[in-house]
Structure 1
């Protein structure tokens, strides 16, 4: 029987975080460190990450590739807004990763969509 760590079953979280102080959304290195730490604390294995700053005072986009899938962020400091995408399979805990990110960014609001990802069941 296959290990559950290799089955394509997981949770995909799409979170819109708002009410964030702009300075928390501009630092590419700090955001990369935050997302990598959140992944590890949620029980995921980090494979690689890539982050890009759009310039002084502007937003950041970045992705952390995981053995269990990914975490990504795109920020708009001028709006105090960050879009977060967390997809984790296996025993990793995407909600814990989101909670860590949300707390660190001190988001006032979080609009969350959660999708269970799995292949169709065949009879």
Structure 2
């Protein structure tokens, strides 16, 4: 079945402390990512934290993009969720990487709205009775042994 959207979460480690604490730099990076990925910006909201850190959220016609920075750690958490066939969240992430220049990244790709079959939607509970059966059998053997003595 076709999915409704792509959701990329990216942990960026080893970024420049100065760039992570620069609100104008983060805004420029997001605007460039929106343009390169063929996304439609509806609103850009942001906040500069004291003593450091920036959060910026781009509300998109296709969904959203967010950047949360932790300059003291050299870390940025990036989230790009898009719906539709024309958007390219991978391109947006590549642009953000080129701006933030992380030493290491961890990317998680989530396919949103992948309903699968009805069977896939039911919770899976796996219960194993074997350990309980082994305990019961062992205790029965011990009682038999003690009775015969």
Normalised TM-score (structure 2): 0.72
Matched, 1:39 2:43: no
Point out the structure with the larger strand share.
1
Residue of structure 1 aligned with 2:102, choices 99, 103, 107:
107
- RMSD of aligned C-alpha atoms? 1.8
Q: Please say which structure displays the higher CA radius of gyration.
A: 2
- 1:61-109, Cα deviation, whole Å (9 max, x unpaired): 1100000001001101001000000001111000000000011111111
Does 96-105 or 32-41 show the bigger shift?
A: 32-41
Ranges in structure 1 where 5+ consecutive residues have no aligned partner? 1-6
Point out the structure with the larger helix share.
2
Ranges in structure 2 where 5+ consecutive residues have no aligned partner? 119-149
Shift of 1:122: 7.5
Matched, 1:85 2:75: no
User: Are the equivalent residues in 1 in contact too, given 2:3–2:111 (CA < 8 A)?
Assistant: no
SS in 2 for 1:37: helix
- Cα distance in structure 2, aligned partners of 1:14 and 1:54: 22
Residue of structure 2 aligned with 1:17, choices 12, 17, 24:
12
Distance change >3 Å, CA 40–CA 8, structure 1 → 2: farther
How many residue pairs get aligned? The number is 116
Matched, 1:94 2:56: no
- 1:28-73, Cα deviation, whole Å (9 max, x unpaired): 12211211220121010000011100135x0001100000001001
Q: Relative contact order (alpha carbons < 8 A, sep ≥ 6): 1 or 2 greater?
A: 1
Runs of 4+ in 1 over 4 A off after TM superposition: none
Matched, 1:71 2:58: no
